[in-house]
Amino acid sequence: MDPSQDPPSDAQRPGAARMPGPAEVEEVVGYVPLLAAFFHRARADMPPSMQAAFERHGLGPRHGAVLVQLSAGRPLGVTALAKRLGCSLSTASQLVGELQRAGLAHREEDPDDRRRTLVSVPDRPREEFAHFLALRAGPLLAALDRLSPEHREGFVAGLRLWAEETRHTDPA
């Protein structure tokens, strides 16, 4: 490092905590707590059998995130799942195992590559989860539908970056 330059302060480091200014609070940060209630009631919106499985097996939001990734209907490899979730392979495998014990996920050997494990959601919970996901995704999809293609692209890019930044601060 050039001795004539000061090292960056904590506030200048990427992902470092900093106090938002008044305009940032009004423009964006102030909306985050308004969304919190929506996220906190997710379990109450679940179909009763899924809610019971989550409670009985001690499942939480990270397990729900796995189900969202699997909701497209095609099986995913555990490695691909870990990448989508932004977690380690062992964490993804553990989450899948816990979902499997709850009857909400199924693992099988990839017929094209026996070293690879594919994960899917069995038919009954997939149908229940699809209804739940439609209910939960509704407000976001409605908001996206109201945006121009350019604004939608910017919103999605910002949401992706925000998710990446939260991974840097999440101890899990």
Cβ atoms of residues 107 and 100 within 8 Å: yes
Residue 100 is part of a domain; what is its CATH number? Answer: 1.10.10.10
Q: 32 in a domain, yes or no?
A: no
In which band, very low, low, confident or very high, does the pLDDT at 59 lie, cut at 50, 70 and 90?
Answer: very high
Task: Say how many domains are in the chain.
Answer: 1
- For the chain, percent of residues with pLDDT exceeding 90: 53
Q: 98 in a domain, yes or no?
A: yes
Q: Quote the Cα angle for 12-27-156, to 5°.
A: 80
Q: Which residue has the tokens 């109450």?
A: 44
Closest to 106 (Cα-Cα) out of 120, 93, 92 = 120
Q: Is the pLDDT of residue 7 over 60?
A: no
Distances (CA, A) of 41 to 44, 45, 56, 77: 5, 7, 18, 30
Separation between Cα atoms, residue 132 and residue 26, nearest integer Å? 32
Q: 151 in a domain, yes or no?
A: no
Q: 107 in a domain, yes or no?
A: yes
If one counts every other C-beta atom within 10 angstroms of the C-beta of residue 84, the result is 15
In which band, very low, low, confident or very high, does the pLDDT at 41 lie, cut at 50, 70 and 90?
Answer: confident
Q: 169 in a domain, yes or no?
A: no
Tell me which long-range contacts 132-135 makes (C-beta under 8 A, separation of at least 24).
Answer: 132/45, 132/46, 132/47, 132/50, 133/67, 133/68, 133/71, 135/45
Using one digit for the tens of pLDDT, what is the confidence trace for 93-151? 999 999 999 999 999 998 888 889 999 999 888 888 989 999 999 999 999 999 999 99
